[in-house]
Structure 1
Amino acid sequence: MSLASYIGCNIEIPINDEEYSDELFYIGCCFASEFDLLQVKKHQFTTPLVYEVSSHWGIEISECMNPETCAESKMKLMRLCEVMDSYLWKGDFFELYSCWVGEEAEKRDGEHTLQINNFEIDQIEIPEKTLVRFEK
């Protein structure tokens, strides 16, 4: 199984259809099927548009992860927030949810709201099955 990360938003975001990118991550298909996208949209997000954030592994930040993977997830999250900040207007938001492929419809374990430009990356924890709303 693979850990996939999804974003939900109210605006269209350009996707990168390449299977590999030199970027830290890209927005486009990697692990998830169209069915998985529909399930996460229906069961987790409040937004009409859903995208997989592909990086060949999802974004998960927790103490139980190995330090290298956790540090990579922190870099991915910071880059994601930077990219999304360029698309969002003041008062808008995007949502992030990570889970194992096939578990998109399962009950979430938690949720948080953070300001897109005002959080301390080393002070947050985002385990799998946690919905995070990033507000601008």
Structure 2
Amino acid sequence: MSLATYIGTNIEIPLSDEDSEDLIIIGDCFSDDHNKINVRKFQFSTPYVYEVSSHWGIEILKYSKSKRNLESKNKLTELCKILDNYLEKGDYFELYSCWVGEEDEKRIGELTLKLNHFNVNEINIYEHTLVRFEKV
């Protein structure tokens, strides 16, 4: 199984180039249309859903110093920079990570953060947690 991360937005976001070697790629990696339909239906309040492919989902554990945790912090920081370019003041995006096929399972938590006004080293984002990033 693979840990996938999805974002939900109220506006369309362009997909990354297929040949991109960027840290964050907006486009399919592990999921299919069925997975995205389920995450929109069961988790998001937004009409547009994208997989954020980075060869592994984003999961951050506040006190972990593992390589995967550090990579997730870098990915989240980069994702926030990318979406900051598309969102207007008052807009938001949602983020949700889960194992592929578990998009319709119950959330274990929710978190709201102000886009670019949070410390990535002070948060926990577990799988099955909905995170809302609001642009202020």
TM-score by length of 1: 0.95
Calculate percent identity across the aligned residue pairs.
Answer: 60
Give the superposition deviation at 1:65: 6.0
| Counterpart Cα distance in 1 of 2:52 and 2:63 | 22
RMSD value, Cα: 1.3
How many residue pairs are counted as aligned between the two chains?
135
The residue aligned with 2:134 is 135
Give the superposition deviation at 1:117: 1.1
* Structure 1 consecutive aligned stretches of length 4 or more whose deviation exceeds 2 Å: 63-66
SS at match of 2:39: helix
| Counterpart Cα distance in 2 of 1:30 and 1:43 | 20
Q: Which amino acid aligns with 1:117?
A: N
Give the superposition deviation at 1:91: 0.4
For structure 2, the residue ranges without an aligned partner over 5 or more in a row are: none
| Counterpart Cα distance in 2 of 1:102 and 1:66 | 28
The residue aligned with 1:57 is 56
| Counterpart Cα distance in 2 of 1:110 and 1:58 | 17
For structure 1, the residue ranges without an aligned partner over 5 or more in a row are: none
SS at match of 1:87: coil
Give the superposition deviation at 1:39: 0.2
SS at match of 2:60: coil
TM-score by length of 2: 0.95
The residue aligned with 1:123 is 122
